[in-house]
Amino acid sequence: MASSSLIVPLAFWVNLPTAPITTVAYKEGHIVTGLEDGHIWIYRCIIDEQGAPQLQHKILCLGHKSSITALTIIEGQTDGCAGNDYVLISASKDGDVNKWCLLDGRCLTSISKAFCGIIKSLKPLAEYSQPAKFLLCSGFSNEITILNCTTLELVRIWGGHNDWVACTPFYDSDARQIRLLTSNFNGILKIWAFDESNHINKEYDNVGLLEAQGDKILELISNPYDIGVILAITRSYAITFTIRRGKMVNFQRIRTSKEGIYWASGAFLSKNRMLLWNQMGNAYLYSIPSFTEKKIPTENAHLHIKPGLIRRSSLPNLQKSNVEKMPNSAQLRPQLLETVCSDNESLAITTVFALSSIDGKASNLYLITFRNQINGTSFAFKTLSPMAQESGICENNYNARELKWPPETYLSDIWQLNHKNDNITVTTMVYDVYLATGYENGEIHLVPLSMALTQSAEIQNSTSIPNSIHKLEGHIGKVTCLYTPNSQNFGHEYLLSGGEDCSVRIWNLEGKQLASFKYHSQSVTHFFEPPSDECQRLKRCVISVAKDNSLAIISLEGLSCLYVFGGYPYPLNKIQWRDSEGFIILFYNDDTAHMWQTQTLELYQKVTGSAARDMLKDASWRTSSVEQQEFVINKTLTSVTDNSDGGKTFLQIFTINIKQLINDIYHYHVSQIGSKSNCTRTIEDFDEKPSVSKIFSWTTGGALQSSSVTSTSPSIEPETKAIDASTVQVLISTLMTWGIDSSLDKLCAEKLGLKKSSNRITFGLRGANGNMAFAVPSPNDSAAIWKISQTMTASLLLSIVGLTRSFLSMKGLEKYTSELITHYGSLLPELVGKEYYHSSLAFHAKYFQDPLEEIRISARTLFSSALNNMPSSELTSIIDYWKQFLPAVASPGIYNNQYMARSTILLGMIGADYPNYLSQTVARNIALSLVLLLHDSSKLSHRLAALELCGRGFSTWEPHFDAVAVLKTLFTFAIETDTNAATIRAMAQKAIFQISTVNTPLCISTLTHDTNDSKKPTEKSGFLKLISIFRRKRPILLHSNLSGLVEAVVKSLDPNIPKMRDTVLQTTTSVLHDLVKTFPSVTFHGGSQKLAIGTLEGASIIYDLRTATRLHILEGHTKSVTAITFSGDGRLIVSCSLEEGTVRVWNPNPGLLGMIAGSLTNGNGGNGNGTSRKTPLLSSIRTSKTFAFNLGEDARLSVASILESVYFEWVADRTVKLHVKDSIMSFNV
């Protein structure tokens, strides 16, 4: 059964990730910066107690592979939780576009190569006052790409422009709808209409010409506070104009006052305020005239489209700027009100944002500028004067205020993790056992994971290094790269290192240097393994690459260097292996190919251009990339490094496959020293608890291509590789939250053998396309991870609870499970405080039917806990968000099936437990959606969830759907005979039992009706088995409808349908036997093949099983018949009614009339298929003897007591005893 993965990334922070900032955006207390290396930083921006703005690192997003060129933040909830109202959309230089959750950085969706060119602008497009539906991507291209805002799917490529084109949506007051305004680089304006059918029509071809004296139009920005007002940005001019009736009017230009100083971007702050800034970070506040026509509908006075606040500039400084004089001097001109300048001439990126005071009563406008400098990136805040928020136009003779930027702060100075003396340059994980750490002084420390991840770095930097840490010395200067080759290919475990000294060194895991090579002329950047299956000579080889793009092929078998290929000015891209021809071809980024002869080591030929590209496309030869590592997700634990362009390690990233780890814990054995017989291991004191020291194991799931694969020799099977107990325990230790609850810390440390994790370790989220986001270290706030987002809380909780369930289930530790679950499920919100984010219900709903029991139970437990602790306002917000995706109301063309199924499951779980939170309309839509999901065979987990929810919340859904039809569907699943449908069959049966508890008459009557009406022997047999299951599990539920049910069972033996009778005979016999055994009101006489049942109405019915017909009706009791029995010879029947207080004796001898009735019964009623039957003639028998008794209150028994303690016992041919609990009465009949 397909299920959602649970891959948990952990970051070991080595150095602060830094790179030049390229673009910036702001929304709701968050400042986002895009970096040149593709990283994205999300900062928290707050006002401190002194009223000053403060910047705090919050989330690092990893996913883009090239420079970030554009950012935008738009409205868009990700799971319906309150406060989670915005998403970040980013574009990179290679044309990739990613969508992230603003709160936690989780990548929601990703699209590669969305744009042919470089995206410089991302503009949301929507109908008036509606959330954005489309995204306009424009920039250095003559095309505009339109994407779906929700899925990032390509909607349209809008081509045909004769130059690079800028675009912005604006409200056209004449057409009363959103239009698109475009300008090519030469300033020619055009207006377009874009409708829901994705057609683009040109409305106005000659709107105007933006005369910028040869400058190119870089960006168009629409004023959201004034209809039709547009700002155009060029290098030397900022141009404002108004669109009226398809024409450009009120043209105004603001130019820089100095050559070489260029505008970067701008933003409208209000109807009459505009802020411009240049590439030096200097900002200029203007009062702009309003030319709005008097008669404008009030509903259009304010637009929802947000101004494009940020753009990457390409220009330098401005001390003053002048408003260029227009030919018509009578026109009002923009008036400069305020300047914010800096003496620093470095390039900077600026934006403006509003931020509320600490008490929330006031809101001010702030500027923030980021400046990329030699020593790192700095930033500064500046508060704009109240004039920036005032309305109205200032007089032309107003004297502008001149302000200065305050002193700037480096981003490294606000980094909370202070390890300035570490001097770590590179790290890598070594065969899941060690963390190798390279330093600037050339040392390499081989640290056990159990120590590296749970103890602070002071141990590694102290003068006395523990014996468990191997110190590797040999490099002169800093270590630039580390690598562990795939031991399955090499038979031994090695660590390779490269350094600034141009050397490559090979070490074993005991710290001994095995070999050293110096064939490069510059520092070594990385290693990778060639495809050994292509060339016998390259087996067990590793390739080293240097900064000058030279290569060395090193044999680990012979510890020798086989080939050396000289450097080249351009980076190496691919390698093609032509072993049979004796060539290795190196392809470089400048479309050049070098053909080297492997025998003579000579450069045979140099090919460039199209010829080189054609060689690369030749599929007859193996071509490999030169990347160091492949990220593998089907392994329990993998690790990659996040490095700077210069090779410096920022993060060592560990990814834990939680579900795989849980599965391995249960299915394999873990030894204290694992499978590494050729190296010494220090387990420290993790193993001091015998109960957990040898209970874990680990499988790799087959051959892998990762640097962290381990085996002792090539002959060892990879499927049975063991993992140390200490490694499992350290992984659990890193997931735990320490320092919040001292009692829990004590439990974890003393009882479970866990250790407090290093403050370098933080939790992350893995999103679309494998992109990741990590929370930053917060050494001063142990609870910081729980204050980020609902999804972050849910993911961490599920990982902790799911993993510790399996961890504690071993060797007598189950008693601690409840304490951990109580802490994380119930006490955590109170311990963290008001900033705690409750767990995401949508996240847990994904695992509602997970095949792994630990995950399924944990997800349900946490879902219920979150539901119980969640404020009603937040729960209402979640319901309002997800109800739009219900299949009963949503269109598959708009929302994907996954979203619709999740909304059904999520809201179904809420409705099952908290129906009062649902309106009648929502409850009805959920009920109908569950029916649709029941009939959806595309995904087993969805159908299982629908089955369970139909039963679990039946009382909520029953008024809103056809309950009988749903029951019939459940019966169909419950009697399915296909062996592959065992899970569905079991879940359907469970749902039926739940429904029968809520509405017993409906369930049993439907079961009776379907049993009677079934025409196929397999179906009939299935219904009979279902009755038997009811009898075994819930016999009380059958009691009220027992007579009808017995008749349905008897009719299955109809001899007029011989095929049916022969097929179900054995099943029917078994069911009748079980009914007689369970219910005292049902009895059977084998000699005469008669069955008798006492009814709740007081009559008793006798059936002849040979003919499957009624023989007699025994009438006499006025109350329900409690018990009935045949005498040994079958001549007499004795019945009892406790409610009536009588025992009656019957002599059902049919006599002449009865025999005639029996002979006429079904005599001509069958046609071979049972579709036509005649009503049998019955004889009604009267009582021959009656005995009265009085047990008082002892006769008032529940159904359960009747089934357990009431029965007849024949002690002689004509003597019978009636047992009623402790009372025994004897009757001579």
**In-domain check, residue 633:** no
pLDDT value of position 395:
61
Q: What pLDDT is recorded for position 420?
A: 56
Q: Count CA atoms within 13 Å of residue 860 on its CB side.
A: 17
Which of 374, 399, 414 terminates a domain? The answer is 414
Using a pLDDT cut of 70, give the percent of the chain over it.
84
The answer to whether 654 and 632 are in contact (CB under 8 A) is no
Position 1171 scores a pLDDT of 39
If pLDDT is split at 50, 70 and 90, which confidence band does 316 have?
very low
On the question of pLDDT at 976 being above 80, the answer is yes
User: pLDDT grade, residue 455 (50/70/90)?
Assistant: low
Residue 690 Cα distances to 271, 686, 716, 728, angstroms: 73, 10, 27, 15
> Per-residue confidence at 698, pLDDT binned at 50, 70, 90?
very low
Q: Examine the pLDDT at 486 and tell me if it is beyond 90.
A: no
Residue 393 binned pLDDT confidence (cut-offs 50, 70, 90): low
The string of pLDDT tens digits covering residues 135-167 is 999 999 989 999 988 889 898 888 888 888 999
> CA 1069, CA 485: separation in Å to the nearest integer?
67
The pLDDT value recorded for residue 580 is 75
Lowest-confidence range among 675-684, 767-776, 1096-1105, 1154-1163? 675-684
Predicted confidence (pLDDT) at residue 482 exceeds the cutoff of 70: yes
AA identity, residue 453: L
How many Å apart are CA 1016 and CA 1020, to the nearest integer? 6
pLDDT score at 724: 60
Domain boundary among 361, 396, 414: 414
Residues 265-310: pLDDT tens digits? Answer: 999 998 888 999 998 889 999 988 875 544 333 332 233 333 333 3
CB-CB contact of 727 with 710 (8 Å): no
Highest mean pLDDT among 804-808, 1050-1054, 1192-1196: 1050-1054
Answer yes or no: is 725 within a domain: no
Res 44: pLDDT: 92
30 neighbors 58 (Cβ within 8 angstroms): yes
- The answer to which of 53-62, 616-625, 722-731, 936-945 has the lowest mean pLDDT is 722-731
Residue 1045 or residue 198, greater confidence = 1045
Residue 72, SS3 per DSSP: strand
Compute the distance between CA of residue 1112 and CA of residue 1106 in angstroms, rounded to an integer.
Answer: 15
pLDDT digits (tens, 9 = 90+) for 728-772: 788 888 998 888 888 888 888 888 888 888 888 999 999 999 999
Number of separate helices (H) and strands (E) present in the chain: 26, 64
Q: What is the pLDDT of residue 327?
A: 40
Confidence of residue 227 (pLDDT cuts 50, 70, 90): confident
pLDDT at residue 445 is higher than 50: yes
User: In this structure, what token pair is assigned to residue 4?
Assistant: 């959602």
Of 218, 238, 241, 215, the closest CA to residue 230 belongs to 241
Rounding to the nearest 10 degrees, give the CA dihedral for residues 945, 951, 956, 962.
Answer: 100
Q: What residues contact 200, with CB distance under 8 A and at least 6 apart?
A: 156, 158, 180, 192, 193, 194
Average pLDDT on 1053-1070 reads 89
What CA–CA distance (Å, rounded) separates 220 from 191? 13
Question: Which 3 state secondary structure label does DSSP give 24?
Answer: strand
Minimum mean pLDDT range among 312-321, 789-798, 870-879: 312-321
> Residue 418 — very low, low, confident or very high, per pLDDT cuts 50/70/90?
confident
The pLDDT of residue 686 is 35
| 372 part of a folded domain | yes
Residue 625 has pLDDT above 90, yes or no: no
pLDDT > 70? residue 354? yes
Q: Residue 359: what pLDDT?
A: 63
Residue 999 inside a domain? The answer is no
**631 vs 99, more confident:** 99
**Is residue 589 a part of any domain in this protein?**
no
Which pLDDT does position 2 carry in this prediction?
52
The answer to the question of residue 1015 being in a domain is no
Helix, strand or coil, per DSSP, at residue 1046: helix
700: pLDDT strictly greater than 60: no
The average pLDDT across 1059-1068 equals: 90
* pLDDT top residue among 592 and 821: 592
pLDDT at residue 685, rounded to an integer: 38
Q: Is there a domain that residue 1054 lies in?
A: no
- pLDDT (tens digit, 9 = 90+) per residue, 985-997? 999 999 999 999 9
Q: Using the predicted structure, report yes or no on whether residue 718 has a pLDDT greater than 50.
A: no
Pairing relation of β-strands 335-341 and 401-404?
A: parallel
Query: How is the beta sheet containing 1133-1137 ordered, strand by strand?
Result: 1123-1126, 1133-1137, 1142-1146, 1183-1188
pLDDT at 692 (0 to 100): 32
- Give the pLDDT score at 1218: 94
pLDDT at 484 over 70: yes
Residue 1074's φ and ψ, nearest 5 degrees, are -65, -40
Q: What are phi and psi of 1105, to 5 degrees?
A: -75, -15
Tens-place pLDDT, residues 571-615? 888 888 887 778 888 988 888 888 888 777 788 888 888 888 888
In this prediction, residue 24 carries a pLDDT of 95
Whether residue 823 is contained in a domain is answered as: no
Q: What is the CATH number of the domain that holds 1163?
A: 2.130.10.10
User: How many CB atoms sit inside 10 A of residue 292's CB?
Assistant: 17
Q: Which of 191-205, 234-248, 370-384 has the lowest mean pLDDT?
A: 191-205
Residue 1145, pLDDT > 60, answer yes
Q: Which domain holds residue 350?
A: 17-414
Q: Look at residues 414, 434, 463 and tell me which one is the last residue of a structural domain.
A: 414
pLDDT of residue 1081: 95
Handedness of CA 1191, 1192, 1198, 1199 (dihedral sign): positive
Predicted confidence (pLDDT) at residue 727 exceeds the cutoff of 80:
no
- Sort residue 1203 into left (φ over 0), alpha (ψ -120 to 50) or beta: alpha
Q: Considering the chain, what is the average pLDDT of its residues?
A: 82
Helix, strand, coil percentages for the chain (3-state, nearest 5): 25, 30, 40
**Model confidence over 898-928: pLDDT tens digits?**
888 889 999 999 999 889 889 999 999 999 9
pLDDT in tens, 6-52: 999 999 898 889 899 999 999 888 999 999 999 999 999 988 888 88
Q: How many domains does the chain have?
A: 2
Query: What's the pLDDT score for residue 668?
Result: 57
Whether 521 shows a pLDDT value over 80: the answer reads: yes
- For 995-1008, how does the pLDDT look when each residue is reduced to its tens digit (9 = 90+)? 999 999 999 999 99
